[in-house]
Amino acid sequence: MIEKHKGKSIAFAVFLALAVFLLVYLGALPGNSRAREEGSEDQFRSPYEYIKLFTDTLNLVQKNYVEEVEVKKLVYGSIKGMLADLDPHSSFMPPDMFKETQVETSGSFGGLGIEITIRDGVLTVVSPIEDTPAFRAGIEAGDRIIKIDGELSKDLTLMEAVKKMRGPKGTKITISIMRKGALSLQDVTIVRDIINVVSVKAKMLSDDIAYVRLTQFQTRTSSDLNLKLKELKDEHQLSGLVLDLRNNPGGLLQQAVAVSDYFLKSGLIVYTDGRISKQNMRYQAHDDGTEGDYPIVVLVNGGSASASEIVAGALQDHKRGLVMGTPTFGKGSVQTIIPLEDGSAVRLTTSLYYTPSGRSIQAKGIEPDVLVEAGTVVKREPGKGLMHDLKEKDLKGHFENAKSSPEMNEAHPSRDAEPESGSGIRPEAESEGGAESAAAAAGEDWRNDIQVVRALELLQGWKVFRQLDNNR
Q: Which residues pair with 123 in a beta bridge?
A: 118
Q: From start to end of 304-440, where are the E strands? A: 321-325, 333-339, 345-354, 370-371
Q: For this structure, is 331 an active site residue? A: yes
Q: Is 403 a catalytic residue?
A: no
Catalytic residue among 331, 333, 342, 449: 331
Helix (H, G, I), strand (E, B) or coil at 214: strand
Contact call for residues 299 and 246 (beta carbons, < 8 A)? yes
How many of the other CB atoms lie within 10 Å of CB of 190?
A: 23
**Whole-angstrom distance, CA of residue 32 vs CA of residue 21:** 15
Options 153, 306, 308, 333, the catalytic residue: 306
Residue 306 is among the residues annotated as catalytic for this protein: yes
Single out the residue of 472, 388, 393, 460 nearest to residue 423, CA to CA.
Answer: 460
How many angstroms separate the CA atoms of 312 and 367, rounded?
10
Catalytic option among 143, 224, 261, 317: 317
How does DSSP assign 143-207, residue by residue? -EEEEETTEESTT--HHHHHHHH-EETT-EEEEEEE-TT-SS-EEEEEE-B------EEEEESSS
The helix or strand, by DSSP H or E, that contains position 465, with its residue range, turns out to be helix 450-470
Structural contact between residues 88 and 30, judged by C-beta atoms closer than 8 angstroms: no
Instruction: Name the residues annotated as catalytic.
Output: 306, 317, 331
